Amino acid sequence: MAVISKEDPLLAKMKETGLNFSVEEWERAAERILEQGSFGYIQSGSSGEETLQKNTRAFEQYSILPRVLTNVANPDFSIELLNQTFPSPLLFAPVGMQRIAHQDGELAAARAAGSFGIPYIASTVSSYTMEEIAEANPFSPNWFQLYWSNDRDLSLSMVKRAENAGYQALVVTVDTVMLGWREKDLHNSYSPLRLGFGKANYISDPVFQAKVNIEDSDEVVDEILNQILHPSFNWDDLQWLKTQTSLPIVLKGILHPDDAVEAVKRGFEGIIVSNHGGRQLDGVASSLDALPLIRNVVPETFPVLFDSGVRRGTDMVKALALGADAVLLGRPYVYGLAVAGEHGVQKVVSNLLDEFKVSAGLAGAKNITEVKKTTLMRYIMDDAKG
């Protein structure tokens, strides 16, 4: 981790004023701190980054029509999700290899989630083991994000470890049968996995240990890649996994309404509408544009979570109004992590939640039910006019 320069006026000001800045400023500060390869890996999207840009710009196409004189005193924005009550509709998205941003990585982020009582979703490719992450956050629910392995025994081993460590749900990522074309990483010749990040859950797993010499870094990385690149991954694999665990399974990476309907039909407990933050297939629809299409074809009570592009409290209001039951935050909290560790993550999240509460109240809502009834107007932006 790079050290914050005392000569950098922006970083000095952020520390001096309590770090109360926008996500864009956190991003710029993180860029000043991190090495080019690390920052590029966190910030970039795939190919020409069309989808990365769509994700944030999509929110600009919706305008809130606020209600007034609705009495928004004593607000309560808690939610019910997977038979649990959470204090807000925000969750920490699974982000792997966080030690490229800060030496405490996922441990700091998980502790920050615990301080808000909101769920932390730990990635399969975390820098610390799932057990270490769960131990770091005993104060809020931990969910485990699973990257499917070609060896079912390895997938099952990961799931059983998550159960034993007290994780309360599984998030299975379904849009990574192969890695997206990451041009910025190629340009920077940067692979955090090759540098030793993101392998903690593998080298600590007994099934994986039986396959490779865990002291041989190249062999370890090659086997991880062999496991997580799986073009044959399909619904039958997921159906088998469902028979192997009592944990609720949420599918992350759903954009097509037909896939959402299939998830309901097969008895999964929820979906996350996501295009992987624009890091997989470029040129696809923004997650926000896909959200209402999916909400319209699944039962009202079926949990639909939203991921990709959230930067503002107003974004949260819009996503909830378009049918999300909760939203996931990804890159922004990693920028906070890079700048100021656990405290930086806390400030990014507290700013976002405070802005959400103010925005919801000004829109005329004092609870989630009312936020979901917020009226939005949609218009198409004219690129020629900027």
Model confidence pLDDT, tens digit, residues 151-208: 999 999 999 999 999 999 999 999 999 889 999 999 999 999 999 999 999 999 999 9
Mean local confidence (pLDDT), 97-109: 98
**In percent, how much of the chain has pLDDT > 90?**
91
What pLDDT is stored for residue 13 in this prediction? 56
- pLDDT for position 384: 40
Residue 256 appears among annotated catalytic residues? no
> In this structure, is the dihedral angle defined by the CA atoms of residues 321, 324, 325 and 331, taken in order, positive or negative?
negative
For the chain, percent of residues with pLDDT exceeding 70: 93
Tokens of 94: 């699974």
Q: Is the pLDDT of residue 271 over 90?
A: yes
Neighbours of 262 (CB within 10 A): 16
pLDDT in the model for residue 63:
97
Q: Write down the catalytic residue from 102, 187, 276, 343.
A: 276
Model pLDDT, residue 5: 45
Alpha-carbon distance 230 to 166, whole Å? 28
Q: What is the pLDDT of residues 123-149, one digit of tens each?
A: 999 999 999 999 999 999 999 999 999
pLDDT > 80? residue 41: yes
- For the record, the structure tokens of 119 come out as 């769920």
The pLDDT of residue 21: 77
pLDDT score, position 15 = 56
pLDDT at 217 over 60: yes
Mean pLDDT of the chain: 93
At the fourth CATH level, the homologous superfamily of domain 20-68+77-375 is Aldolase class I (3.20.20.70)
Contacts of 100 (CB under 8 A, 6+ apart): 34, 38, 41, 42, 127, 192, 195, 197
Question: Looking at per-residue confidence, does 14 or 194 come out higher?
Answer: 194
Residue range 297-320: mean pLDDT, rounded = 98
- Phi, psi dihedral angles at 201 (to 5 degrees): -70, -25
Residue 20 pLDDT more than 80? no
**Residues that constitute the known binding site for FMN:** 94-96, 123, 145, 173, 252, 274, 307-311, 330-331
Model-level pTM? 0.94
As annotated, the binding site includes 41, 94-96, 123, 145, 147, 173, 182, 252, 274, 276, 279, 307-311, 330-331
At residue 253, the pLDDT reads: 98
- For 245-330, where are the alpha helices, taking DSSP H only? 257-265, 287-295, 313-321
Q: What is the pLDDT of residues 298-309, one digit of tens each?
A: 999 999 999 999
Per-residue pLDDT tens digits for 65-75:
999 999 999 99
Q: Using an 8 Å Cβ cutoff, are 271 and 251 in contact?
A: yes
Of 4 and 136, the structure prediction assigns the larger pLDDT to 136
